[in-house]
Amino acid sequence: VRIGQDLSVIGYDGIPEGEYFTPPLSSYAVDNRAAGQAIASLLLRRLRGEPVEQLQQLGQARLLQRGSDAPAPLVAQHRATAF
């Protein structure tokens, strides 16, 4: 099995060391500082009595494509029936 060709591997946290793997590790990167500030804000709002249902927030992550991910390959049996 070849990583980045037969099997995709995607990490989380965008660590710079991922660039030095073979193949380089694709990863999702997030702004940890902004995430920490958002969590602190949500915690303070909860401590003030705000209902849990109102304390939801989505953050952005960006994909760092480095080489350990690729589209899924067609398997032999699907190649024969794809056309």
Give yes or no for residue 49 having a pLDDT over 80: yes
Helical H segments across 1-83, by residue range: 32-47, 76-82
Q: Among all chains, which residue has been given the structure tokens 């350990």?
A: 68
* Phi, then psi, of 29 in degrees rounded to 5: -110, 140
d(CA 26, CA 62): 11
d(CA 12, CA 55): 24
Q: What is the mean pLDDT of residues 30-48?
A: 94
Give the burial class of 24: count Cβ atoms within 10 A of its Cβ; 0-12 exposed, 13-18 middle, 19 or more buried. Answer: middle
Specify the pTM: 0.64
pLDDT tier, 66 (very low <50, low <70, confident <90, very high otherwise): very high
